[in-house]
Amino acid sequence: MAAIYLRNDKFKNIPQLTEENIRISSQENIYDVISIPKPSRYVGVLKSFFTKQYIPIEEQNKATFCFTYGFNKAALQYSAQGIRRATINPNNIFYNLNMHFFQEKGNIMKLQFA
């Protein structure tokens, strides 16, 4: 997935990128996925001598892109897919989720006290 910025006066017939265009078919619940126990990085290094490891860089990048542009449902789906496929805890995905949920909690608190 890539984002390319083009001048409006030159390229008027390019469709707008929306969340529906980039959503994946997976409907995993992020709350179920984050509770799956994963080994630490140290255990992952030891296991790497015997089994192939998967670090979800692609899912992390797609989730970061989606969070940046406000496509939160798609970002949560990519995050869930990355966590499920990872063989060790993907710290960056958890960091992005932490930032998302912290921001959502702040928005809810503003509504309650407004």
**pLDDT (tens digit per residue) in 17-64:** 777 777 776 677 787 888 888 877 788 778 878 888 888 999 999 999
At how many degrees (to 10) do helices 91-113 and 57-68 cross? 20
Say if CB 92 and CB 60 are below 8 A apart.
yes
> How many CB atoms within 10 Å of residue 59?
23
| pLDDT band per the 50, 70, 90 thresholds, residue 111 | low
| pLDDT band per the 50, 70, 90 thresholds, residue 3 | low
**Confidence at residue 98, expressed as pLDDT on a 0 to 100 scale:** 87
Average pLDDT over every residue of 100-105: 82
Residue 47 or residue 109, greater confidence? 47
**Confidence at residue 60, expressed as pLDDT on a 0 to 100 scale:** 92
**pLDDT (tens digit per residue) in 77-90:** 999 999 998 888 88
Q: Where are the alpha helices (DSSP H) in 1-114?
A: 19-22, 30-33, 41-47, 57-68, 72-85, 91-113
